[in-house]
Amino acid sequence: MGLSDEQASEIVGDIYQMGTDLTMGIIPVNIFEMLAKGKTYDKDMEEAREVGIAEGLDIKVTDKLRKMPKTNEQVRGRQTPTKEAKPKRQYNPFVGED
């Protein structure tokens, strides 16, 4: 889940505290809010999806290539691979031939 040891131990502590509170008849506000959000999650996600699609259809999409600056720059040189030039051996009269 990607939790550190400190975060995991804090969550376990919260679970124990929640169990103790519920046993005593205390319903914490954050638990109530979490359950209320869970009840309407599917409906809220469907509405957000529909709004996102509607907004996406209203937006005019333009081609980014058309916004690029127009230049007459052309690629110069050969587009094929070339061989590297080998260094020429220089003759040294004081060193024997290989």
Q: What angle do CA 44, 47, 51 make, to 5 degrees?
A: 140
> Of all residues in the chain, what percent carry a pLDDT higher than 70?
69
The pLDDT score that the predictor gives to residue 48 is 84
Radius of gyration of the chain (CA): 35
Q: What is residue 42's three-state secondary structure?
A: helix
Check pLDDT > 80 for residue 91.
Answer: no
Which among 30, 18, 13 is positioned nearest to 5, based on CA atoms? 13
DSSP-assigned letters across all residues of 57-69: HHSPP--GGGGSP
Structure confidence by residue, pLDDT tens digits, 47-88:
888 887 777 666 665 555 556 666 666 666 666 777 788 888
